Amino acid sequence: MLYIGVDLGTSAVKLLLMSQDGRIQKIVSKEYPISFPKPGWSEQKPEDWWEKTVEGIKELTEECDKSQVAGISFGGQMHGLVILDSEDQVIRPAILWNDGRTSKETNYLNEVIGKEKLSEYTANIAFAGFTAPKILWVKENEPENFARISKIMLPKDYLAYKLSGVHCSDYSDASGMLLMDVKNKCWSGEMLNICGIREEQMPRLYESYETVGTLKREVAEELGLPENCKIAAGAGDNAAAAVGTGTVGDGMCNISLGTSGTIFISSKEFGVDKYNALHAFAHADGHYHLMGCMLSAASCNKWWMDEIIGTADYAGEQGKIGDLGENHVYFLPYLMGERSPHNNPDARGTFIGLTMDSTRADMTQAVLEGVAFAIRDSFEVAKSLGIKIERTKICGGGAKSPLWKKMIANILNIKVDVIASEEGPAMGGAMLAAVANGEYASVEEAAGAIVKVVDTVEPEPELAGRYEERYRKFAKIYPAVKNLFSEIL
């Protein structure tokens, strides 16, 4: 049988066709626009997601035996607010995960409702990108739209609805809404009341590998796929990527260098750090995970290459970088504000340490190192909980850079395992679809059978020591400048 994984990203939808034994048959990507109506705002049209997904599935399956396509599932950008009216029509463009308009609402939740209450209700505190602050923003600023809300959904769940007709979500993605009781895996009545919404406006919750329905007849006919093709709930992009990299079970780690950057630690037991610096979410394997998320990771490098120095030769620019661990230029990678561990939507990207001797290569190096240093900030929180991590998987567009992987290994001083397929959320989605169809008894079994490590980047003691010194200096920069950010906006 064949399985489709749909990775609904921020810039494109990536679709992957996988055979039942985990071999990738074909990959298709379809881009769509993103709009920034005001500084710090970020929106997309869900209709564009659906249009490009339909195009992509048709292209993906044009050369295969379509009758063998047994399941579809998803990994998707998290936290985005999709609101539908009573006719299931989109009310307004989706407000995305990297949108920073909700400072007022986030402060209200954290300071008036209180972080302790939020953590009690949801195991997390409010971040500007989370869904609950967005709902409060719509309630305050677009009351006519708020009054029309019949269903509240997440981005990938809109695709699941369009395919199956079922309003659904999964525990991993819903964990990032600040509306779910993560420990008990149910909607939080207290949080729904705070946001002024009712449980019937929320989708039904499933495990990521559970079947929510099958293809609607008209959709099956349009796509040329069998009506009994199962739609599995899927997962948030980071949980799906973790499945795709085999980061399931207890004590496993994955670092993702995508548009955003994450460090993801899987656990069979529910847990939360006392400062809520890391997110405590449900995992796609049926258990839990801790996650640190930075809003700009590989997108920092893309911004630097595309917009500032104006080149598409990413590898060529990295090739000009000299000795590692000796750069005196530092970069704070907060181009869209920051989430973990600082939770500051006003934070901004910052170069510091420039001199007349500084070169273009020094600044390129600082951008790459800044992202790795920021990931280590969350890594330090995990270590403070007594979690011992000696190695990590890695995925995302940035993971294709040998230099960046070397930096990660030495800045965190851990082994970095490279897997045969770095397809991330799309691969995880296809694996979840296979589990939903009974090809594997569990997500862990699927990961054990499909995910293969092909290389390991080892930290070098001398270089790791130099980077230890550099990290200690980097860690002093944000506290020194954080009060300036709100003044210069």
User: Is residue 284 a contact partner of residue 242, using CB atoms and an 8 Å limit?
Assistant: yes
Question: CA 10, 15, 18, 23 torsion: positive or negative?
Answer: negative
What is the rounded CA–CA span in Å between residue 341 and residue 294? 8
Q: Which two tokens stand for residue 127?
A: 């971040």
DSSP character for 104? H
104: amino acid identity, one letter: K
DSSP assignments along 370-396, one per residue: HHHHHHHHHHHHHHHTT----EEEEES
Cα(121)–Cα(192) distance, rounded to whole angstroms?
Answer: 10
Asked whether 92 and 142 are in contact (CB, 8 A), the reply is yes
C-alpha angle 400/315/329, rounded to 5°?
A: 100
Q: Which residues contact 434 (CB under 8 A, 6 or more apart)?
A: 1, 3, 18, 20, 71, 440, 446
- Selected catalytic residue, list 7, 99, 237, 285: 237
Q: Provide the terminal-to-terminal Cα distance of the chain, rounded to the nearest Å.
A: 54
Active site (annotated) includes residue 237: yes
Residue 237 identity (one-letter amino acid): D
Q: Of the candidates 238, 228, 179, which has an alpha carbon nearest to the alpha carbon of residue 205? A: 179
Give 340's DSSP letter. T
Q: Provide the token pair at 310.
A: 């104006």
CA distance 405 to 458: 10
Which residue, among 41, 39, 35, has the nearest Cα to 11 in the 3D structure? 35
Phi, psi of 80 (to 5 degrees): -65, 140
Token pair for 3: 């399985």
Which residues make up each annotated binding site for substrate?
Answer: 78-79
User: What are the backbone dihedrals phi and psi of residue 316, each rounded to the nearest 5 degrees, phi first?
Assistant: -65, -40
- Write out the two tokens for 74: 């998803």
Spatial contact of 195 and 139, defined as CB atoms under 8 Å apart = yes
Residue ranges of the annotated binding site are 78-79
Q: Encoding tokens for residue 146?
A: 């708020």
Task: Please check whether residue 208 is in contact with residue 170, taking contact to mean a CB–CB distance below 8 angstroms.
Answer: yes
3-state helix, strand, coil in the chain (%, to 5): 40, 25, 35
d(CA 352, CA 357): 13
DSSP code of 344? B
Catalytic residue ranges: 237
